[in-house]
């Protein structure tokens, strides 16, 4: 099995970097006691951040 190698560029790293939150809130999950951080766009825990799903209303979709 051949493993392909490729170079990671600055553009690739910039594209996957999540901006630091200036107004994130530290919260705790009740069931596990784990700490996580949440702001208007992201939820982060254990060094992993995911973008929240953006909900749009039907009136926004009609315009």
Q: Which two tokens stand for residue 25?
A: 């809130």
Q: How far apart are CA 4 and CA 11, in angstroms?
A: 20
What is the chain's pLDDT, residue by residue, as a tens digit (63 residues)? 788 888 888 888 777 766 666 677 888 888 888 888 888 888 888 778 888 887 766 555 555
**Helix H or strand E segment including 26:** strand 25-28
pLDDT of res. 62:
53
């Amino acid at each position: 099995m051949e493993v392909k190698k490729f170079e990671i560029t600055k553009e690739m790293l910039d594209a996957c970097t999540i901006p630091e939150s200036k107004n994130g809130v530290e919260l705790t999950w009740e069931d596990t006691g784990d700490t996580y951080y949440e702001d208007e766009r992201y939820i982060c825990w254990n060094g992993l951040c995911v973008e929240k799903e953006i909900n749009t209303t039907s009136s926004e979709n009609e315009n």
